[in-house]
A and B are shown apart, each in its own frame.
Chain A
């Protein structure tokens, strides 16, 4: 009768004792706060990224986090007949596989739906072929190693990079005919043109933010999340708009929720930090080509 206790990798309790958690909580509540790995509040952990690594996909990327999290994204497109009255968001299908976990693991479900929310209608609008046909995009995300910290950011960055290097075959038939494509892969057109960043139309990214007292931490580790008063996954796009926000499970050191002004502060800080993230992603993409 009781729901099955299903401790997935991210929700598994930290090995820290209540005393250690309390110590961590107070050092994070200091002004200025002290993080266990001596990062600044808005500093991310270094990461390694690779683009276009898989020949059998339309676009792919790999991101490795120094704590061992490794994420591979493969994007494949299929031509699908348009069905009227169907939400265009169904043109993008996201699936997440966490190595060593079951398919219906709550973490995998959460990640898939949060990535889907983030991309939303904007991406679906790009998949038009003509009136009667459109592309169906399958975004398959593989979390190779059970992550030590919550992988939402890792995943969203990998998906962003994967989409940015996705190429779709060039249409040679007229818009109203049955679609016919150019066989030459070199002639394929990028899903996001190279000037997409200048126009500001690129996929949004999800940032993980933890709040402890009045302090705000980006890219929290598992231990930091375990003592946080609240953990938010905020999706921001290039223009600094919030395109989605979710609350994640946070620690048990204290009870009660968060004040509205803390959430406001989190959201406000996400804008400049998001800008920085987009800037470094642009750097990765430029270096990749």
Chain B
């Protein structure tokens, strides 16, 4: 431990480490669990990316709750996102009508409507509810991963894993003396502090194919840096897919051992 925080930060810069001591391409501690609420929902999961924690429950495919949601040739996907009041640094109640929450809902809904084989369950509804318990950057990515695991737990057919990952770029602060390509320094899996300082994006890919199903960025960034961030994020997705697969397989083995299969 270094007592002096200023010294600690300059040491980190010297060693090219990030504020939490990671290298540019290192993920935070990833932990995931399936079937956290076996009795209450058809599928449930919990995902932690470092200090970001998201719980997901999936109900369905079930009869539609409102007739307007009924689609005659496929299932409709409903997503609900709630932020716990205690999830951020300061206590803040976020209503469901909050614009950012609504936007996140729409993004998730669109992504998963494509990934789920909805044509197999016509006239039914799949309800995904996400609860963000703790936010420390990469909330959208964590939500995507939690939803994927929840859907797998519920046994809903999907074409492949949808894996989400965030990436940032550290070169925004460096001078423009060097060309952007050289300075571009992508950072994988940004945390809360990096999210506040640096341009960042979130990517979701469809399994092993590297096909991007979701891409969102809200910061101003040079096009040349974009490529590096994207490559880092997609790389991270690929790595994370293996980790998710491991979790699912371990859970499957466990279930099989308990004689459920």
Contacts and interface: CB of A to CB of B under 8 A. Distances in A.
| A and B touching (Cβ–Cβ under 8 A) | yes
Interface of A: 53-57, 60, 64, 66-70, 72, 74-76, 78, 95, 97, 99-100, 103, 138, 140, 142, 144-146
A144 B55 contact: yes
B131 A56 contact: no
Contacts of A97: 82, 84-85
Contact of A140 (B55, B84, B89): B84
Contact of B41 (A64, A68, A142): A68
A56 B134 contact: yes
A144 B57 contact: yes
Given A100-B129, A140-B91, A145-B40, A56 B51 contact: yes
A100 B129 CA distance: 9
Contacts of A67: 39-40
B89 A56 contact: yes
Contact of A138 (B86, B95, B133): B86
Contact of B86 (A57, A103, A146): A57
A71 B80 CA distance: 18
B1 to A, nearest CB: 11
Contact of B129 (A53, A57, A99): A99
Contacts of A55: 51, 134, 136
Contact of A78 (B40, B41, B91): B91
A145 B84 contact: no
Contact of A145 (B37, B82, B88, B95): B37
A145 B133 contact: no
Contacts of B51: 55-56
Quick one: which of A66, A100, A144 has the most chain B CB within 10 A? A144
Interface string B77-99: 00010101111111101010000
A74 B85 contact: yes
Interface string B33-57: 0001101110000000001010101
B135 interface: yes
A274 to B, nearest CB: 27
Nearest to A139: B86
A233 B141 CA distance: 42
A69 B40 contact: yes
Interface string B49-69: 001010101000000000000
B40 A70 contact: yes
B39 A138 contact: no
Nearest to B38: A68
A285 B72 CA distance: 53
Given A67-B39, A69-B40, A78-B91, A56 B85 contact: no
Contacts of B86: 54, 56-57, 60, 74-76, 138, 140
13 contacts: A53-B53, A55-B51, A56-B136, A64-B37, A68-B39, A74-B85, A74-B133, A76-B86, A76-B91, A78-B90, A140-B84, A144-B57, A145-B40
A141 B147 CA distance: 23
Given A56-B86, A56-B136, A138 B41 contact: no
Contacts of B41: 68, 145
A145 B93 contact: no
Quick one: which of A76, A78, A97 has the most chain B CB within 10 A? A76
A72 B40 contact: no
A54 B91 contact: no
Given A95-B93, A144-B55, A144-B57, A138 B40 contact: no
Nearest to A95: B85
Contact of B133 (A54, A75, A99, A100): A54
Nearest to A100: B129
A169 to B, nearest CB: 14
